[in-house]
Structure 1
Amino acid sequence: MKKAIFLFISLSLLLIGCSNNNTEQSVAAENQSDTTNSSNTIPSYYNDYILNPQVSDDRFIQDVGESFRDKRGELTLQAIKNDSQTYKIDSIELTIREAKILHFKPDYGLIDFFHSYTHDEEFDFVKMFAEIKNTSDTPLKFAPAAIVSTSSGEKKTWEDDIYLEELNGEIGANETKKGNVGFIIKKSKIDFIEITTSDVFNEKEEKISDAEKVKLEF
């Protein structure tokens, strides 16, 4: 991955960062009244996670066929992989806690947001909940999913991420980030996805480690 990816990422984060943070806080408060028919409990790795303002809450749904509806729309789980795997890329520890394929019917008020990704009023997407830890004493720059490829031949880049949870870019010394990345796909019946991370860069934009490829099978 070329280091130019971070120039584009940084610009995007500047434009959306402040508005997303405010929106996420209000969404988190609203969702305290949301309910689900699932008997599942929220996995512990979601502790302190702030709910996304664009995509419905999928934390409860852990069994294929389950659905959940909230103010952002309705999600139905089509496939899941929830055995955590950790990958070490120089001083970065990337843990994929879960991967899911979901069908989403967004609320009418969110249709315009998703029109920049698809013109379908409901769609399938693949998402990963990731934790990124910088184990070094200096800031680093990294993106957990620079490219995502599916077994059906679809390919997505970090620019297609619908969650926008600021996992890309700089991560401080000994800092941990966690959140979702997700990508709309045309074919939900897939056997696996392959994630290509970015390279790892230091503060001076010097590459210190090559990208890693991670294969997740459903």
Structure 2
Amino acid sequence: MRLKPWIALTLTASLLSGCTANGSSNTDSEVHAETQAKKTEGTDIISFKDSPQAPDDTELTIKDSQFQDEDGSITLKQFAQVHDKKQTGDVSVTISDVKVMQYKPSPDLIDFFHGFTHEEAEFPYVRVNVVVKNNGDKPMHIAPVSEITTNQGETVTWEDDFYLEKMNGELKPGEEKVGSLGFVLDETDPEALEGLTISSSEVLDANKDKVADAVEFEVGF
């Protein structure tokens, strides 16, 4: 996967616009994260919705369990219930859980993945379920998952997200976004994966100035 030395500059511009790198070509499939997931009424349980680009993995919690629907078939290779919340400035980032799955997309979705991998017929990907909230009284900008690095040395960035739930960008005062990000892994063996590091972007204000540091999560399998 690509990791560009100018990513910080590019990320700043993208966060202020609230768009993903692939958004211009996939507008119809983008759905705001607030409509993709919701808190179960009367509880703290958060339900994360399945993506139009991937099968529903909700019930997959046991390694090597499988599921198939109109989007294709997936096999769960790694699963970690993280439930780790970190605060940076006025923004809190919570990683709920992380799954790594082997994916065989349906024929009608293979073309969609041309821009993400050369192995469009079958590949592993990592899904991160995340909650991000602005607890302050001023607008803030952040990418809750800016970069993921596996223990095998592969790095993917916010540019590679194919869930397209608009988790990156502006957070209005008091606003919370709940949703998922998905990243194809081209250079990682999911069977041998032992862990990964998830990093957010820095927190920026409306003037494009840094107001808080990035946060980092260590996830083990």
What interval of TM-score do these two structures reach, taking the shorter chain for normalisation? 0.7 to 0.9
1:143 aligns with 2:149: no
CA contact (8 A) 1:196 1:211 kept: yes
Partner residue, 2:12: 6
Partner residue, 2:217: 214
- Helix, strand or coil for the counterpart of 2:115? coil
Residues 13-44 of structure 1: CA deviation (Å, up to 9, x unaligned)? 7626751247x9xx99xxxxxxxxxxxxxx93
Partner residue, 1:64: 63
Q: Structure 2 unaligned runs (5+)?
A: 1-6, 38-43
Scaled by the length of structure 1, the TM-score of the pair is 0.83
CA contact (8 A) 1:3 1:205 kept: no
CA contact (8 A) 1:167 1:179 kept: yes
Partner residue, 1:45: 46
Residues 83-129 of structure 1: CA deviation (Å, up to 9, x unaligned)? 31111111111111101111111000000001111121111111110
Instruction: Pick from 8, 29, 33 the counterpart of residue 20 of structure 1.
Output: 29
CA distance in 1, matches of 2:169, 2:9: 10
Partner residue, 1:111: 110
Identity %, equivalent residues? 30
- Helix, strand or coil for the counterpart of 2:82? coil
What pairs with 1:1-218 in structure 2 (closer than 5 Å)?
2=8, 4-8=10-14, 10=17, 11-12=19-20, 15=24, 18-21=27-30, 44-46=45-47, 49-120=48-119, 121-185=121-185, 186=187, 187-188=189-190, 189-218=192-221
Partner residue, 1:34: none
- Helix, strand or coil for the counterpart of 1:82? strand
Total equivalences in the alignment:
200
CA distance in 1, matches of 2:49, 2:79: 21
- Helix, strand or coil for the counterpart of 2:11? helix
CA distance in 2, matches of 1:152, 1:134: 33
CA contact (8 A) 1:2 1:199 kept: no
CA contact (8 A) 1:6 1:169 kept: no
Q: Which runs of 4+ in 1 moved over 2 A?
A: 1-4, 8-18
Scaled by the length of structure 2, the TM-score of the pair is 0.82
Q: Structure 1 unaligned runs (5+)?
A: 29-42
CA distance in 2, matches of 1:97, 1:12: 22
Compute the RMSD of aligned alpha carbons: 2.5
- Higher RCO, 1 or 2 (CA under 8 Å, sep at least 6)? 2
CA distance in 2, matches of 1:16, 1:208: 32
CA distance in 2, matches of 1:20, 1:169: 18
CA distance in 2, matches of 1:18, 1:116: 15
Shift of residue 12 of structure 1? 3.6
Letter matched to residue 8 of structure 2: K
- Helix, strand or coil for the counterpart of 1:84? strand
CA distance in 2, matches of 1:50, 1:150: 25
Letter matched to residue 69 of structure 2: D
